[in-house]
Structure 1
Amino acid sequence: MTGTPESPYQPGEVNEQGGTGAQDAFLRLWTPHRMAYITGENKPVGTSAGDGCPFCRIPGLPDSEGLVVRRAEAAYAVLNLYPYNPGHLMVVPYRHVADYTELTEAEVNDVAVLTQQAMRTIRTVSGAHGFNIGMNQGDIAGAGIAAHLHQHAVPRWSGDTNFMPVVAQTRVLPQLLSETRDLLAKAWS
């Protein structure tokens, strides 16, 4: 049996991940850069501004280094280091505040205006068909950094439903199998 366009490997053949065995119907899209997000690398150690909050640190960096796209008086727009889609950005008040109800009128205004500008800009640049706009308030609601409010603007396109295994027969894996194996083997004893 020869390999197919979907899977160029023969059953039992060693592939680039060093594994062997019969191939299944899934292609693998490796995204090892997402392990930093999964393991909480660079995540604040506490809830105060001085506890390593990246949203407090970013405004002090040059825009290109901090991935800041636009600045306003009370808030800024910054690309997400771990995007769900290309162009995924966040609108963040400069002030270290956790809850939307704690924002000043000027902060609410800048967050809203920057969000509108982000949507217009992303539509112009990439033709986004829609957006998911929102913020997760608190750890329980899924906020990755709950101590510093941030609003996500995630561009969406028809067909980007992210059901990779179902639609594209592809799995997105954040780590190579050899790395996962080494971690498990080391922890087993």
Structure 2
Amino acid sequence: MTRPEASDADARDLARASADASATDGFALPGAPDAFERFWNAHRMAYVTQGSDQVKDEHTCPFCAAPQRSDGESLIVHRGRTAYVVLNLYPYNPGHLLVCPYRHVPLYTDTTAEEAAEMAELTQTAMLALGHATRAAGYNLGMNQGSVAGAGIAAHLHQHVVPRWTGDGNFLPIIARTKNMSQTLGETREILAGVWDEAAADHARRQEANARAAAERAGRGDEDRP
């Protein structure tokens, strides 16, 4: 007669064996499945394996090459005097823009006063264009300078302008590790390019209003001084 404790032990062994079998893949490598779903985009491997390392100088830099092609081909939204605005090929959010100087310089401190001023102006206009086109509720701005700081292409300075919306950090990126992109990059470029002049006019009006407000504030400050 089998003892009850022996039957219980056998049942536990069978349960463990079944669990091990369910966690073993086709290569007979045991392990627990992780929580990540895979969205396969194998074309990105060229960027992952060589993207930043293959940029040696102006001749191998995508930010130097982009202005040499058409706006549609390079996803350029606007061309300025010393800098231009282009869609990020691997966006964090729909409408993710980059503001790049034409010159091949790695750091913000390498820009001229004119380049720095225009990059700031284009960044402000990009925010307004995204507001007009997408009703963005907020923005993330940033420059990753140097590979150790997270710059994908550290050799050529670029300013990120990422639009944000309430709830854009929903269950998809948090639980499913997936980002929903509802438009093609070409469609996004056309929309933003179409509202750029309106955004630039809006920016000019805002600058005039801000200058008047600053002058009035300075005048009040002079009156308050003894």
Give the alignment's TM-score, normalised by structure 2.
Answer: 0.59
- Largest Rg, 1 or 2: 2
Aligned to 1:148: 156
Aligned to 1:131, what secondary structure does the other structure show?
A: strand
- The answer to whether the 8 Å contact 2:55/2:153 transfers is no
1:38 corresponds to which residue?
48
Give the equivalent residue in structure 2 for 1:133: 141
> What is the distance in 2 between the residues matched to 1:28 and 1:107?
42
Superposition pairs of residues 78-89 of structure 1, within 5 angstroms: 78-89=86-97
Distance in 1 (CA, whole Å) between partners of 2:144 and 2:61 is 16
> Which amino acid is 1:45 matched to?
Q
Listed one character per residue, the Cα deviations across residues 163-187 of structure 1 (whole Å, up to 9, x for unaligned) are: 6364xx31339xxxxxxxxxxxxxx
Instruction: Name the amino acid aligned to 1:30.
Output: F
| Conserved? CA contact 2:96–2:160, under 8 Å | yes
Any conservation in 2 of the 1:26–1:165 contact (CA below 8 Å)?
no
Task: Please tell me the residue identity of whatever aligns with 1:49.
Answer: E
C-alpha distance in structure 2 between counterparts of 1:172 and 1:25, whole Å: 15
The offset of 1:121, in angstroms, is 0.4
% identical aligned pairs: 52
Aligned to 1:70: 78
The aligned counterpart of 2:224 is: none
Aligned to 1:3: none
RMSD (Å), alpha carbons: 2.5
Q: Does the 8 Å contact 1:75/1:92 carry over to 2?
A: yes
Look up the match of 1:15: none
- Asked if the contact 1:88–1:155 (Cα under 8 Å) also holds between the matched residues in 2, the reply is yes
Count of residue correspondences: 147
- Which secondary structure state, in structure 2, belongs to the residue aligned with residue 59 of structure 1? helix
Question: For the structure 1 residues 34 and 163, does the alpha-carbon distance in structure 2 shift closer, same or farther, using more than 3 Å as the test?
Answer: farther
Distance in 2 (alpha carbons) for counterparts of 1:31 and 1:127: 30
Q: SS in structure 2 opposite 1:171?
A: coil
Name the residue aligned to 1:172: 178
Aligned-pair CA distance for 1:44: 5.4
Alignment of 1:7-46 (within 5 A): 28=37, 30-32=39-41, 34-41=44-51, 43=52, 45-46=54-55
Structure with greater helix percent: 2
* Structure 2: gaps (5+ residues): 1-21, 23-32, 180-226
Specify whether residues 111 and 164 from structure 1 end up closer, same or farther in structure 2 by C-alpha distance, changes over 3 A only: same
State the alpha-carbon separation in 2 of the partners of residues 30 and 98 from structure 1: 32
SS at match of 1:170: coil
The alpha-carbon distance between structure 1 residues 57 and 158, as it changes in their structure 2 partners (threshold 3 A), is: same
4+ aligned runs moved over 6 Å, structure 1 = 24-27
User: What per-residue deviation string (whole Å, max 9, x for no partner) do you get for residues 114-141 of structure 1?
Assistant: 1011000001101111111010010000
Match of 1:159 among 145, 156, 167: 167
Q: Which structure has the highest strand share of the two? A: 1
Give the Cα–Cα distance (whole angstroms) in 2 for the partners of residues 98 and 165 of structure 1: 31
Counterpart residue type for residue 82 of structure 2: A
Task: Give 2:146's aligned amino acid.
Answer: G
Query: How far did 1:109 drift?
Result: 1.1
For residue 38 of structure 1, what is the amino acid of its counterpart?
Answer: V
Q: Amino acid of the residue matched to residue 164 of structure 1?
A: L
2:89 aligns to what SS in structure 1? Answer: coil
Contact 1:99 1:149 in 2 (8 A): yes
